[in-house]
Amino acid sequence: MHAHNTHLLLPGRKMHRIAIIILAAAIILASCSTETRTSKIVVVQNSSGSQQQATPQPAQNQNIACYSDSDCGARRAENAYCFQDNPVGDLYSWKCNNPGTVQANCQESHTKGPIATCGDTYFCYKGECIPFANCNDSDGGKNYEVAGKVTTNDFAVHEDHCKNSGELVEYYCSSDNRAFSETKSCKCDGDECAV
């Protein structure tokens, strides 16, 4: 009789152990699925000395295309040639639209026309502004009685010549190394004024 009672108690103990194992597993599973959200609190001290708490926004990993026009690319000129003493051709330049924002983008523009202004101290040669230099006058300046020629660093050669029998075109170099000409009234013969 005693053995029979023991036999009846054993299944109850097994059930109790199984129930404890199931309860422990449920607790473990519940703790694994529970989300914990934390937010870092930043203490900001303002100019009056009081403190404020601010919760920072999550950082966003964003690529900004450009902050200024120079971020997009260099300006360039193509097919340049000289027109009215200045270079003209195709000019390509970049513009940064909506700089410094996520909508920023680079846009290339193309124009035809003047590329630069050479000014008084430069001359246009093959589409470029080149400084005046190396002007050389074979007759030493405004020497009307000697036929001469002026050469410059743009490989141009300008020769004194008779415009007609009463006028001489005399070429000379200026103090800033530029070639100039003037017309001199005289009896012109052999590309010089006859004495």
pLDDT band at 38; cut points 50, 70, 90: very low
pLDDT at residue 177 in the model: 79
In a domain, 147, yes or no: yes
Do 154 and 178 lie in one domain? The reply is yes
| Cross-strand bridge partners of residue 93 | 109
The pTM (predicted TM-score) of the whole model is: 0.37
Distance CA 138, CA 146 (A): 9
User: How many structural domains does the chain have?
Assistant: 2
What would the pLDDT profile of 44-96 be if each residue is shown by its tens digit? Answer: 444 445 444 444 443 455 789 999 999 999 988 899 999 998 999 998 999 99
Distance CA 195, CA 170 (A): 15
What would the pLDDT profile of 130-145 be if each residue is shown by its tens digit? Answer: 877 678 899 999 999 9
Domain holding 108, by residue range, is 69-130
Do 137 and 112 lie in one domain? The reply is no
Do 90 and 110 lie in one domain? The reply is yes
What would the pLDDT profile of 98-119 be if each residue is shown by its tens digit? Answer: 999 999 999 999 989 998 899 8
Residue 121 has pLDDT above 90, yes or no: no
Do 153 and 115 lie in one domain? The reply is no
Distance CA 171, CA 188 (A): 15
Distance CA 64, CA 61 (A): 10
Residue 123 has pLDDT above 60, yes or no: yes
